[in-house]
Amino acid sequence: MLRIMVLAPLLVFVLTGYATAAQHLSGDKLPAADGKAVIAYLNEARYQGWQLWPGKSTFYPGRFPHGALLTTYVSQGAYRAVQDKAGRIPAGEFVVKENYTPEKQLAAITVMYKQAGYNAEGGNWFWLKYQPDGTIQAEGKVGGCIGCHAAVKGNDWLFIGPVK
């Protein structure tokens, strides 16, 4: 039993760091928890080429405070974690939601960026909302995001679908 108690945290540490290490090995340098840095990274990484959240299509129905229609992209490690039912998204990974009007006009982009040790009270997520022109509307430890998503903290703070 003692061996399991000692090895389990080590295994979690190794698995959590795997995706981040894989990104660094591929040449991607992860951004700081800063809105402008995250937007630049997402533009450079061309997040629209990432996988859609498993089981979701483009322009699925949204709800307040997000758009009437949504499209959600996930970074490679986040996609793998959802597919594998890992229980949480690893540090260094992204969930990027495009928020659309009923007429399919892009109104905003909302981002959840997992950073180890960033904000334990908010699931270690960095929250960001910005307009298509790059104007930042909210970033960081956003109270409205954290307050709402706390309802699903057992699902790693994600409403969109199960991670377990």
CB within 8 A of 125, min separation 6: which ones?
112, 113, 114, 115, 118, 119, 145, 146, 149, 157
Would you tell me the crossing angle of helices 2-25 and 76-83 to the nearest 10 degrees?
Answer: 140
Better pLDDT: 164 or 4:
164
* 163 is a domain residue: no
* 164 is a domain residue: no
Average the pLDDT over each of 1-5, 59-63, 66-70, 83-87 and give the range with the smallest value: 1-5
- Confidence tier at 22 by pLDDT (50, 70, 90): very low
What is the domain extent for residue 106? Answer: 2-155
What pLDDT is stored for residue 18 in this prediction?
Answer: 43
Q: What is the pLDDT of residues 66-93, one digit of tens each?
A: 999 999 999 999 999 999 999 999 999 9
CB within 8 A of 128, min separation 6: which ones?
35, 38, 39, 109, 110, 111, 113, 136, 138, 139, 140
* 88 is a domain residue: yes
* 12 is a domain residue: yes
Whether 107 and 16 have beta carbons less than 8 Å apart is answered as no
- Model confidence at 27: pLDDT above 80: no
* 160 is a domain residue: no
What pLDDT is stored for residue 5 in this prediction?
Answer: 45
* 37 is a domain residue: yes
Average pLDDT, the chain: 88
* 53 is a domain residue: yes
Distance CA 77, CA 91 (A): 9
What pLDDT is stored for residue 145 in this prediction?
Answer: 97
- Model confidence at 47: pLDDT above 80: yes
- Model confidence at 14: pLDDT above 60: no
- Model confidence at 155: pLDDT above 90: yes
What are residue 160's phi and psi, to 5 degrees? -60, -35
Whether 80 and 15 have beta carbons less than 8 Å apart is answered as no
For the chain, the domain total comes to 1
Q: What is the mean pLDDT of residues 146-160?
A: 97
Q: What is the DSSP letter of 12?
A: H
What are residue 51's phi and psi, to 5 degrees? -65, 150
What pLDDT is stored for residue 160 in this prediction?
Answer: 96
What pLDDT is stored for residue 135 in this prediction?
Answer: 98
- Model confidence at 17: pLDDT above 80: no
* 161 is a domain residue: no
Indicate the SS3 state at residue 152: helix
HSE (side-chain half, CA atoms, 13 Å) at 24: 8
